[in-house]
Structure 1
Amino acid sequence: MRLGSRSLIVPVVLVCFALTAVEVPSATWPTTASLSLGAGVSALSLMALAAVLGARWKGVESLFGGLDRVYETHKWLGVWALVFASFHLVFKAGTSEWQTAAILSLPGPATRLVRQLSFVALMLIVLLALNRKIPYRTWRWWHKLSGPLFLIVVAHWLSFKSPIALVSPAGVWLATLSLLGVAAAAYKLLLYPALSQHAEYRLQSVSASASAVHLRLVPVGRRIPFLPGQFAFLSFEQNGLREPHPFTIASAGQDDGSIAFVVRSLGDYTARLVKEAKPGLVADVYAPFGRFKRVVGERAEIWIAGGVGVTPFISWLQDASAGGLDRVTFFHFFTPGRELPETVDLSTMAQAQGVELIDVPTGPGTAEFRQRFTQLVEQTGASRVQINFCGPRGLLDQVRQLMRETGVAEDRLRQELFEFR
């Protein structure tokens, strides 16, 4: 079982409220004061865990089954932290029946200021994470403040008069999570560029279409090992392109160690990269990340890609060593006028591997897609179909609806999450 948003957040919140209940008289449990205190403990705990998930530690990625899942949970940790912090701010976490004391004594005005700043800090962190209209470069630099802002939240806990002593179970819980969160934030902010696995690559060739580019990079020194379907963070040594940005690797292992990416113009950063990418550019490649791997077995495989979600499947098509490609039916959804660069010839790749490729420029409601999908399920059996998906959420919803109509269970679907922000 892999961790996810629900399987992490729900138990953590329950533990927070349970530990809080131990510290206050049982007669005050059904009061807004107790609920506010529990909400405050939950908010701090969720923020600390969000910092841990943001550090990109390999062990954490393994627990969630991929960095895409880590980032999804990271987002929801922030959202629920803001929800609990809002309740904590509105209702006073205290009553005359409690024996309270501050762990760290601060002057009264400073304590109140830290309390207000902690909520503002959390609100800024979450709004920055969720607002997709902020340019990527601006968003990333603002988001780097998450670590320092978390220190303000920790200062609020330490200076706030509460019934939770540092040596109590709740105090040990908060201290442990706070230390982990601070360590993770410091690692990501100060040590990640030096200690994480990365290597220098040079852009060898660029092939462009109207809205996308195919980039092939060769290692300057050592090469980074990866598996088809994984992704990397690219940081080019050029103004405006230095911020590491995630892209799925569009190649299998090459003899020369080269690595390829397909980048579509979808935002300010990718639009600039599509426009300015030229051979000779040097980039730091941070990799590998992700757990989107083929499950090769006796069952039939259905691949479904939408837009730039085709990228991991390009790498799978080039991975002849995996075998079983002759049992694959590949539905490629795309928008006319936004085709892939000429160097990415899906038809030739699919034909060489015996893959049935079906280009779908008309959307998931088209009869050809629905009929062929239904036919594959009927021929193979709903329990023996393996569906691999990468694309936008709207297409995913349509695929799930078609799975329900044809009796395909949810556990037959494996997907790579399409959006990070």
Structure 2
Amino acid sequence: MRYFGLILIAAACLVPVVWYVPLATSRDPIALFSQYLGSAALVLMGLNQFIATRMPGLETVFGPLDRIYVLHKWLGVIAMVAIGLHDIIDAEMNGLRGGPLAGIAEDIGEISLYGLLILVLASVITFIPYHLWKWSHRLIGIFFALGAFHFFFIEKPFSNAEPLGLYISAFCLLGLVSYAWMSVLRPMAPRGHGYTVASVKHLGGLTEVELTPRGRGLKHKPGQFAFLSVSGSGLSEEHPFTLSGAPRQDRVLRFSIKDLGDYTRRFRDRIEQGMDATVSGPFGHFSMPSGREPQVWVGAGIGITPFLAFAEHLKQRETGQVKLYYCVRERDDIPYAVELEKIAEAVSSLEVIIVNSAEGVRLTPERIAADLGGELARAHVFFCGPVAMRKALKSGLVLKGMRASRFHFEEFEMRTGIGLRRFAAWLWDRGTYAIEKRRASGAHPAE
């Protein structure tokens, strides 16, 4: 996530203060602060709708798309907190300007608040099935439109034609146009690159698909991902997948997709050779550095996919020594071991190491540091796999002398929570501990 983009967002929220502060001399400052919170929430939601469009140039300002998804989530959460405080803190004051629709706008604001609250909670409660979440997520724009209506017509200490009114209105319009583009115009407009499914292979729990372009095709870098949709058979919904093949001159693409949910199960059962597909992208900045410094690649399970492209690309470029740790849970769960070992035979700089947890072997920071033989401070580490494993390896390697900026990863999950499950677990543990402590002291829990 780029600091420049975060600074722009913070500045956009703070600009209204320039106009709100002079109003505080003649208005109730508490009520005025409540109105500022409502205005800031509309700015954040308007920007959030725009960020969701995946427009070209967004990655330049805000960082790779995987980080933009994280930003999108937190902007929504912060906006929801601001709206909630706006509703709780009394914003009423005397002598406000309104119109005939002010009463209706007040009621619509309440509908917008509770609708957004429900949908934002549905977005961060990750056990809700993906297809239900995605369907409900599309409704956020409708409730944002209701919030914009509330702003346009509610009684407030300034008019829509004044600088402050025009400023907030601009972000409302940005959000409404972005929502209209995503929900109505974009599905109707030609997008992406047309492909044909050339081959389908089932490798254990993986479905490997090769696509041949019907036109000029997509140009990508090793490690990037793209959005894939397949015509017919309930597979037309776009989903992001890592491109597991290195770039080719003929622009043929390979995806390796693991059966992890409803869509990927349908994909495995219904994908057939000859189907038409659309690929949009590429996205992401998960790419190898230039230079001869040592590199460590850690691919856990399906997290091996970007490193398949990395390894294949080594045939076309020189690099320092590369150690690839392929972490699996059982011997049968390594469909690409043979392919990687063949590449390692042809590329002297690549060493492939299978780490099989079923055999009691674990990848630890100590092992990586020892295998590098004192080169850890110079090395770049690339990781793709479970979040818990990533955090453990990164913290351990940093303690052993690696610079944090040299640990590269992408947010493997596009949809993440905000720690509600961990908070619930913490409350449960605290409650259980208190009960056990009371029992140990001889007191009854209900006393």
TM-score by length of 2: 0.84
1:311 to 1:80, Cα distance in 2 relative to 1, 3 A: same
Letter of the structure 1 residue corresponding to residue 356 of structure 2:
P
Counterpart selection for 2:313 from 309, 319, 335: 319
SS in 2 for 1:319: helix
**What's the secondary structure of 1:401's corresponding residue?**
helix
CA contact (8 A) 1:236 1:281 kept: yes
Q: What CA deviation, in whole Å up to 9, does each residue of 1:100-133 have, x standing for no partner?
A: 223x64152x223211111123224313422333
**One-letter amino acid of the counterpart of residue 21, structure 2:** A
249-258 or 53-62, which deviates more: 249-258
Q: Could you list the per-position Cα deviations for residues 275-316 of structure 1 after superposition, in whole angstroms to 9, with x for gaps in the alignment? A: 322222221111212222211223211112222222111111
Aligned to 1:292: 286
Q: How far 1:317 sits from its partner (Å)? A: 1.1
Matched, 1:347 2:345: no
Change (3 A) 1:213 1:47: same
* 1:406 partnered with 2:400: yes
The residue type paired with residue 100 of structure 1 is L
Cα distance in 2 for residues equivalent to 1:73 and 1:277? 33
CA contact (8 A) 1:250 1:312 kept: yes
Aligned counterparts, 1:183-194, within 5 A: 183-193=177-187
Q: 1:367 to 1:288 in 2, by over 3 A?
A: closer
Letter in 1 for 2:184: L
Maintained 8 Å contact 2:40/2:79: yes
CA distance 1:184–1:22, change in 2 (3 Å): farther
2:365 maps to 370
Residue matched to 1:106: 101
Question: 1:108-187 to 2 correspondence within 5 Å?
Answer: 108=103, 110-187=104-181
Aligned-residue offset at 1:223: 1.3
Q: Distance in 1 between matches of 2:132 and 2:238?
A: 13
Q: Match of 1:356?
A: 351
CA distance in structure 2 between the aligned counterparts of 1:17 and 1:84, rounded to whole angstroms:
15
1:270 aligns with 2:261: no
Separation in 1, partners of 2:205, 2:327: 16
Shift of residue 134 of structure 1? 3.3
Distance 1:278 1:203 in 2: 7
Q: Could you tell me how far 1:42 is from its partner in structure 2?
A: 1.6
Q: Could you tell me how far apart the structure 2 residues matched to 1:381 and 1:326 are?
A: 13
User: SS at 1:45's partner residue?
Assistant: helix
- 1:337 deviates by 6.4
CA distance in 1, matches of 2:237, 2:327: 30
- How is 1:43-82 mapped onto 2 (pairs within 5 angstroms)? 43-82=41-80
For 2:88, the aligned partner's letter is V
Equivalent residues of 1:236, 1:242 under 8 A apart: yes
**Match for 2:177: what amino acid?**
A
The equivalent of 1:235 in structure 2 is 229
CA RMSD of aligned residues (A): 2.7
CA distance in 1, matches of 2:180, 2:338: 41
CA contact (8 A) 2:223 2:306 kept: yes
Question: Structure 2 vs 1, CA of residues 94 and 406 (structure 1 numbering), >3 Å: closer, same or farther?
Answer: same
1:88 maps to 2:82:
no
Q: Partners in 2 of 1:80 and 1:163 — Cα distance?
A: 24
Q: How many Å separate the matches in 2 of 1:338 and 1:170? A: 63
Work out the CA distance in 2 between the residues paired with 1:361 and 1:17: 57
CA distance in 1, matches of 2:50, 2:414: 17
Given that 1:209 and 1:339 are in contact with CA atoms closer than 8 Å, whether structure 2 keeps it comes out as no
- For 1:164 and 1:376, locate their aligned partners in 2 and report how far apart those are by CA, in whole Å: 66
Contact between 1:20 and 1:37, CA under 8 Å: does it hold in 2?
Answer: no
Q: In structure 1, how many angstroms separate the alpha carbons of the residues matched to 2:179 and 2:82?
A: 21
SS at match of 2:152: helix
Q: Is the 2:243–2:255 contact (alpha carbons within 8 Å) kept by the matching residues of 1?
A: yes
Partner residue in 1 for 2:426: none
| Alignment partner, residue 21 of structure 1 | 21
Residue 302 of structure 1 contacts residue 387 of structure 1 at CA under 8 Å; is this kept in 2?
A: yes
**CA deviation digits over 1:226-269, x for unaligned, max 9?**
12111111111123211100001111122432100111111111
Deviation larger for 335-344 or 257-266 = 335-344
CA distance in 2, matches of 1:261, 1:188: 25
Q: 1:138 to 1:332 in 2, by over 3 A?
A: same
Which amino acid is the alignment partner of residue 289 of structure 2? V
Aligned length: 413
Secondary structure (helix, strand or coil) at the match of 2:157 reads: coil
- Residue 40 of structure 1 corresponds to which residue in structure 2? 38
Change (3 A) 1:352 1:325: farther
Q: Deviation above 6 Å: which 4+ runs of structure 1?
A: none
**Which of these two proteins has the greater Rg computed from alpha carbons?**
2
Indicate conservation of the 8 Å contact 2:331/2:356, yes or no.
no
TM-score (norm 1): 0.89
CA distance in 1, matches of 2:289, 2:6: 25
Distance 2:338 2:136 in 1: 36
Report the Cα distance in structure 1 between the residues aligned to 2:222 and 2:210, rounded to whole angstroms. Answer: 15
CA displacement 1:152-211 (0-9 Å, x = unmatched): 110011122122332444323212211211121122222324556412212111221332
User: Does the 8 Å contact 2:5/2:62 carry over to 1?
Assistant: no
CA contact (8 A) 1:237 1:281 kept: yes
